[in-house]
Amino acid sequence: METSLQVKRSLSKSNTKTRSSRLPGFYKLDLAQRLDKLDEWHKLTRDEKWMIKKETLTPELADVMIENAIGVFGMPLGVAVNLQLNNKDYIVPMAIEESSVVAAASNAARLIRENGSMNAHTSEQIMISQIQIVDVADPQRAKKMIEGEKERLMSVANQKDFTIVRLGGGINDIEVEILETKSGPMIIANLIVNCLDAMGANIVNTMAETLGPIIAELVDGEVICQIVSNYSDRRMVKVKFELDNVDCLGRASFDGKRAAERIIKAYHFADASPHRAATHNKGVMNGIDGVLIATGNDWRAVEAGIHTYASKDGKYRPVTHYYFNDEGKFTGEIEVPLAVGIVGGITKIHPGVKTLLEMMNVETSAELAQVVAATGLIQNFAAIWTLATEGIQKGHMTLHAKNVAVFAGAIGEMAIRIADQMAHEGRVRFDRAKELLKHFMMKEKCDDPENKDSHECVDNDFDEIMTDKTNN
Ligand code: MEV
């Protein structure tokens, strides 16, 4: 059973070049049908489907993962479809509570694959951990002493993780700096570690706590912090898309060229204003965090790193850029530090994460980082394309209206019908949703020939309630 599943999966993986994540009408399917579609993409067992749909994490597992556990917190899990990156197709899981985000990512991914291309590059998977040594009598001499012992220290650190060393990673260097601080000069030993497919915080923290006391003794100082830096600026990913022409950007009353120019001006606004840059980057993080959560990665660490990177010039700036390149092609670009893992952490414990990572079909942490960054880029692109053309409230209003309709008791098609009507009226309110629900249910009843002559149907003025009162 297990073997035949593996065979089916490796067959679908071997179709990587032909397997398409372009899934027209995916959003129109119901939840069960979507899971069936995913089954075509990546053979899912019944258990896995159940786990994705119902129970990605049990309270018992939660109890092992954190202290004082009292349950499991649910969040919607969706997939962004249509993404093509470096000529490979991806289905991207996203855990996010905000409406519009998954739809926006899927739409932008479709637009890019149909009108251009998107490519990504990553640096080595280098993490830095820092050892802080204080109260050193002669910092310059101490720095030289640590540098003189580098080889020995690195070999001690590497003994802490044979696996990573055997696979080609491990500590590469120790960079020593003298930092002037409010408490006077300090020695900071930065461990430079290649973490391969692990996020690496655990590995580098262990190395730092091993070397900290040894270095402190060597320079006759006192060790304080021994911890990973979440500013992983040697673990960078860059993603760029180009559109062959801009006609596809035409929207609302703007033709494609005008829309493209307005997107670039919206980006320039963010580049000049930290107030706008924060919201611009929030749009990026809508994409990035959703994937990080669904793949069991530490989104707080990535957030901290990206915002630090956004401020590296002494001013908070957008992490994406839009421009016409030398060939005149509209181009979008993101460059961010991204420390993610596909091994270690909760990737093995959390049953949902394991399946979702397999479904994504990423082979390395670098590849996962590329997909994560691409999702951030297209998310941001979708947001500012909307802002620069029709504004965001129109789309938000429809989705918000659907939530209100569901809250009022409507389900399925009925919720959509009520939402459309409320959005059309510009009157998205719980009482209106209740009123419309009652109306549509009565109408359905009275459309049945058996009921049409009944009192309540004959006396009902169905047109009255549908009057668009906002226009009166
Ligand atoms: C909303 O979650 C995100 C946006 O505000 C991003 C932006 O303004 O660029 C739409």
Q: What is the pLDDT of residues 312-333, one digit of tens each?
A: 999 999 999 999 999 999 999 9
Find the 379 Cα to ligand 1 centroid distance in Å.
9
Q: Among 102, 385, 387, which is best to mutate for testing ligand 1, by the most ligand atoms less than 8 A from CB?
A: 387
Measured from the CA of 392, which atom of ligand 1 is nearest?
10
Of 43 and 379, more confident: 379
Q: Which residue has the tokens 């249509």?
A: 82
Q: Which two tokens stand for residue 396?
A: 């938000």
Ligand 1: which residue has its CA nearest to atom 9? 280
- Using the 8-state DSSP alphabet, how is residue 251 labeled? B
Q: How far apart are the first and last CA of the chain?
A: 65
Ligand 1 proximal residues by C-beta, below 6 Å: 98, 279-280, 282-283, 286, 383-384, 387, 392
pLDDT at 44: 82
Which residue from 74, 80, 66, 75 is spatially nearest to 34, judged by alpha carbons? 80
pLDDT at 351: 79
Q: How far apart are CA 352 and CA 55, in angstroms?
A: 8
Catalytic, out of 144, 265, 275, 282: 282
Q: Among 100, 280, 381, 386, which is best to mutate for testing ligand 1, by the most ligand atoms less than 8 A from CB?
A: 280
Find the 385 Cα to ligand 1 centroid distance in Å.
11
pLDDT band at 395 (very low <50, low <70, confident <90, very high): confident
- Our answer to whether residue 98 is catalytic in this structure is yes
Q: What are phi and psi of 463, to 5 degrees?
A: -75, -30
pLDDT at 51: 76
Ligand 1: which residue has its CA nearest to atom 6? 283
- Our answer to whether residue 396 is catalytic in this structure is yes
- Our answer to whether residue 298 is catalytic in this structure is yes
pTM of the predicted model, to two decimals?
0.87
pLDDT at 5: 56
What would the mean pLDDT of 48-63 be, rounded to a whole number?
Answer: 80
Find the 411 Cα to ligand 1 centroid distance in Å.
28
pLDDT at 425: 86
Ligand 1: which residue has its CA nearest to atom 3? 283
Q: Please name the residues in contact with 377: beta carbons below 8 A apart, sequence gap of 6 or more.
A: 118, 239, 241, 284, 287, 320, 332, 333, 334
Catalytic, out of 98, 247, 444, 447: 98
pLDDT at 470: 45
Residue 130 near residue 208 (C-beta atoms within 8 A): yes
pLDDT tens per residue, range 236-267: 999 999 999 999 999 999 999 999 999 999 99
Which residue from 90, 361, 355, 17 is spatially nearest to 239, judged by alpha carbons? 90
pLDDT band at 1 (very low <50, low <70, confident <90, very high): very low
Q: Where are the alpha helices (DSSP H) in 295-350?
A: 299-310
pLDDT at 452: 74
pLDDT tens per residue, range 73-129: 989 999 999 999 999 999 999 999 998 899 999 999 999 999 999 999 999 999 999
Q: Which two tokens stand for residue 454?
A: 């009944």
Ligand 1: which residue has its CA nearest to atom 1? 283
Which residues share a beta bridge with 119?
Answer: 240
Residue 214 near residue 131 (C-beta atoms within 8 A): no
pLDDT at 9: 56
Ligand 1: which residue has its CA nearest to atom 10? 383
H or E segment and range at residue 34: helix 31-41
Which residue from 112, 122, 94 is spatially nearest to 335, judged by alpha carbons? 122
H or E segment and range at residue 172: strand 170-181
Measured from the CA of 100, which atom of ligand 1 is nearest?
2
- Our answer to whether residue 257 is catalytic in this structure is no
pLDDT at 445: 87
Q: Which two tokens stand for residue 348?
A: 């093995």
pLDDT band at 180 (very low <50, low <70, confident <90, very high): very high
pLDDT tens per residue, range 290-312: 999 999 999 999 999 999 999 99
pLDDT band at 345 (very low <50, low <70, confident <90, very high): confident
Ligand 1: which residue has its CA nearest to atom 7? 280
Q: How far apart are CA 372 and CA 263, in angstroms?
A: 22
Which domains are assigned to the chain? 2-121+237-387 (3.90.770.10), 126-229 (3.30.70.420), 393-471 (no CATH)
